[in-house]
Amino acid sequence: MLLLSILLFSAVVPLTSVHMSSHVFNRLAILVLLYSSVLAWNMLYLEPIGVGLGIYGGLSHVTLLSQAFDTFILVCASIILLLGSGSISVTSQRFESITKGKVAEYPLIIFFTTLGMSSLVSSSDLVTFFLSIELQSLALYILATIYRDSEAATSAGLKYFLVGALSSSLILLGSCLLYGLTGVSNFEGVYLLCSMAIANSGIHIALVIIGIALLFKVAAAPFHNWAPDVYDGVPTIVTTWLTIMPKVAILAFLGEFQGFTHLGRVYETTYPIWPNILLISALLSLVIGSLLGLAQYRIKRLLAYSTISHMGFMLLALAIHTPEGIEAYLFYLVQYVLTSTNIFFVLLAFSNHPYESDYASNTPSSAGFSLLDNTELSKKPQILYISHISRNSNILSNPALALTFAITLFSMAGIPPMIGFFAKLMVIYSATHSGYLFLAIIAILVSVVSAAYYLRVIRVIFFDTSQFTETPAWWVRPNGNNSMIIGTLTLLILLFIANPLPILNCLHLLALSLFYW
C-alpha cells in the first residue's frame, strides 16, 4: 500500500503541485496511512503470525510483535502528519497572509521514511536491515533540511546527515564482519551460531558494532551530542517527527535484536557484553539527560535532553530482557510517543502565531495557518527560549492549552496519576525484580532531578504573567482536528488510571510472544 502510494505521489506531485494546495496531498497521505494501518491490524488475526512467518525468501519475518509495531507506526505517522494540515487558526491585529513557499513534497518524504520504518521492524536479514535503515535515514536527511532558506535548519540537517552517515558506516562495517565470519546474512542463522559454544568471538564484536550504531541513531548517551543541536535547529514540525518516529522503529528492532545478542560473549568472558553496554548506556542517558537538562534555556534543547533521559528508562527495561522488562519497555515506549506527540502539538499551537515585527499591517484578519504553505513562518519558530513561553504561551492566551501543556509535563516528570508515573514504576519494578537495585535507585533520583526543569516551565506558564494586564492582541486557536488530537491524548495521559487493563493486557501478550512463541 505504501509502495503504491509512493509511486502515485511521485507522479502526481510534480504535475499538480502548482495548481493544488499542499493541504490536499497532506490529507490524502493521512488517509493512505490510516488505511495501511487498518490492513496491518487485520493481519494480526492470521494464525501463522503468532509463531512468525517468513516472506520474500526469508528477507522479512512477520511476527505478532512486528505487526503490532507496524500498525503503531502507521497510526502515529498519520497523527503527526496532521500538524502539516492547517495547524492552527490565528486571529491577530497584525497579520498578512503569505502564500508562497509551498512544501508539497512533505507527504512524499513521510511515505519514504514510513516505508523504511515498516520494513525495519520486520527485517530478518542483513540486506533488508541495512536497506530499511538507509531508506528511513535518507528521507529524514531531506526532511531535516526541507526549509532550505533557514540557516539554522540547514546547519542542523548537515550535522544530522554527518552523524547518520557515521552510524550507517558502523552498521555496514558490522554487517560485513558478520557476513565474512559466518557466511550467512539471515538473522536466524546468526542466532544459531551465537547459541553455539564454538562460535567465533568476532561474531559478537560485529553484533556489538551494529548495536552501538543503533544507539547513535536513537541518541542514547554517550552518543547523544548531536541530538540537542539538531532538534533545536530544525523547524518544530520536523523536530516532532525526528524525536518520535525513528526511535520507535529502531527500538522495535532492538527489541528483537536483543534476543540473540544476549547470548553473545566476547573472548569467552563470563557475562554477555551487549546487555552490559545497554545498561551502561541507560545509566549515562539517565544521568546526562537529567543533569544537563537543568542548564537549558532553549525549550527544544530541554525537550531533547528530556528525550535522552526517557531513552535511559527504555534501554534499562530492554537490557533486563525478562517478560516483565519487555512489558515495561513496550509500555514506556507507548507513553513516550503519547506524551511527546502531545507536547509538540501544544508547543506548535502556542508558538506559531505571527511575528509582530514581521507584519506591519494593522488590519485585523483571520486565516488558516499551515506549516506546509508558509515556509517563511515555519523556518523561524516563535518560541525558542523558555522565557518566551511567558510572553507567547501564558495562561491568558489560551487557558485550556496551558493546562494541557502542564498535564503533559507532569506526565513526563513521572508525577501520579499520569501515565508517565506508571511507565517509570514498571521499569523500576522490573529492575529491582531482576536484581538491578543500583540502577533502580539512580532512576528514582534522576526522575526527581528532571522534575525540576519541567516544573520551571510550568512556573513560567502559570506565574510569570504579571506583565499581561490587558487582553492580548492575539489569540491562538488550534483547528478542529488538532484540538481533537490534543484533547484525546491529554485524556489518555490523565485518565489512564481509570481503566489501565486493556493496554496492559495487550502489551503483556506481546511481551510473552517474544519469549514463548
Question: Band of the pLDDT at 98, cuts 50, 70, 90?
Answer: very low
Closest to 293 measured CA to CA, from 358, 370, 232: 232
State mean pLDDT over 376-396: 57
Question: Band of the pLDDT at 478, cuts 50, 70, 90?
Answer: low
Give CA–CA dist 374/113, Å, rounded: 23
What is the per-residue pLDDT for 471? 47
What is the per-residue pLDDT for 363? 36
Q: Residue-wise over 51-69: b if at least 16 C-beta within 10 A, else e?
A: ebbeeeeebbbbbbbbbbb
Would you say 427 and 328 are in contact if contact means Cβ atoms under 8 Å apart? Answer: yes
Question: Which phi and psi (to 5°) does residue 204 adopt?
Answer: -70, -35
- Residue 315 belongs to what H/E stretch? helix 299-320
Would you say 365 and 89 are in contact if contact means Cβ atoms under 8 Å apart? Answer: no
What is the per-residue pLDDT for 391? 58
Least confident span in 85-89, 193-197, 385-389: 85-89
Instruction: Report how far apart, in Å, the C-alpha atoms of 410 and of each of 463, 493, 511 are.
Output: 16, 10, 27
What is the per-residue pLDDT for 46? 65
- Please state the three-class secondary structure of 458-495 as a single string: HHHHHHCCCCCCCCCCEEEEECHHHHHHHHHHHHHHHH
Q: Give, to the nearest 10 degrees, the angle between helix 480-495 and helix 323-351.
A: 140
What is the per-residue pLDDT for 25? 79
The cell numbers describing 276, all together, are 552490559
Greatest mean pLDDT among 3-7, 276-280, 427-431 lies in: 427-431
Closest to 384 measured CA to CA, from 217, 242, 220, 239: 239
Quick one: how far is CA 181 from the chain centroid? 34
What is the per-residue pLDDT for 479? 67
What is the per-residue pLDDT for 18? 56
Least confident span in 73-87, 250-264, 332-346: 250-264
What is the per-residue pLDDT for 226? 93
Question: Band of the pLDDT at 380, cuts 50, 70, 90?
Answer: very low
Give CA–CA dist 377/352, Å, rounded: 8
Question: Which phi and psi (to 5°) does residue 385 adopt?
Answer: -110, 155
State mean pLDDT over 16-43: 79
Least confident span in 95-109, 218-232, 278-292, 351-365: 351-365
Where are the alpha helices (H) located in 183-220, listed in sequence order? 187-194, 201-217
pLDDT at 367 over 60: no
Secondary structure of residue 54 in the 3-state scheme: strand
pLDDT at 446 over 50: yes
Say what percent of the chain tops pLDDT 90.
43
What is the per-residue pLDDT for 360? 33
Give CA–CA dist 296/119, Å, rounded: 36
Q: Give, to the nearest 10 degrees, the angle between helix 236-261 and helix 299-320.
A: 10
What is the per-residue pLDDT for 26? 80
What is the per-residue pLDDT for 40? 85
Where are the alpha helices (H) located in 393-479, listed in sequence order? 399-413, 419-433, 437-463
What is the per-residue pLDDT for 156? 92
What is the per-residue pLDDT for 353? 46
Closest to 349 measured CA to CA, from 240, 450, 242, 248: 240
What is the per-residue pLDDT for 292? 93
Give CA–CA dist 291/301, Å, rounded: 13
State mean pLDDT over 425-437: 94
What is the per-residue pLDDT for 49? 65
What is the per-residue pLDDT for 82? 83
What is the per-residue pLDDT for 114? 93
Question: Band of the pLDDT at 74, cuts 50, 70, 90?
Answer: very high
What is the per-residue pLDDT for 370? 46
Secondary structure of residue 82 in the 3-state scheme: helix
Cross-strand partners of 186: 125
Question: Band of the pLDDT at 91, cuts 50, 70, 90?
Answer: very low
Q: Is 28 left (phi over 0), alpha (psi -120 to 50) or beta?
A: alpha
Least confident span in 1-10, 246-255, 339-348, 350-359: 350-359
CB atoms within 10 A of CB 501: 8
Question: Which phi and psi (to 5°) does residue 88 adopt?
Answer: -145, 160
Give CA–CA dist 380/416, Å, rounded: 36
Least confident span in 206-220, 294-308, 387-401: 387-401
Residue written as grid cell 540502577: 439
What is the per-residue pLDDT for 148? 78
Straight-line distance from the first to the last Cα atom of the chain, in angstroms, rounded to the nearest whole number: 28
Tell me what the pLDDT averaged over the chain comes to: 80
Q: Which residue has the higher pLDDT, 371 or 354?
A: 371
pLDDT at 218 over 80: yes
pLDDT at 17 over 80: no
Instruction: Report how far apart, in Å, the C-alpha atoms of 247 and of each of 333, 335, 501 are.
Output: 9, 13, 26
Taking only the tens place, the pLDDT of each residue in 143-175 is 998 887 788 889 999 999 999 999 999 999 999
State mean pLDDT over 437-445: 95
Question: Band of the pLDDT at 408, cuts 50, 70, 90?
Answer: very high
Where are the alpha helices (H) located in 82-125, listed in sequence order? 106-121
State mean pLDDT over 94-108: 53
Say what percent of the chain tops pLDDT 70.
76
Give me the amino acid identity at 389. Answer: I
Give CA–CA dist 370/87, Å, rounded: 5
State mean pLDDT over 244-263: 80
State mean pLDDT over 458-480: 62
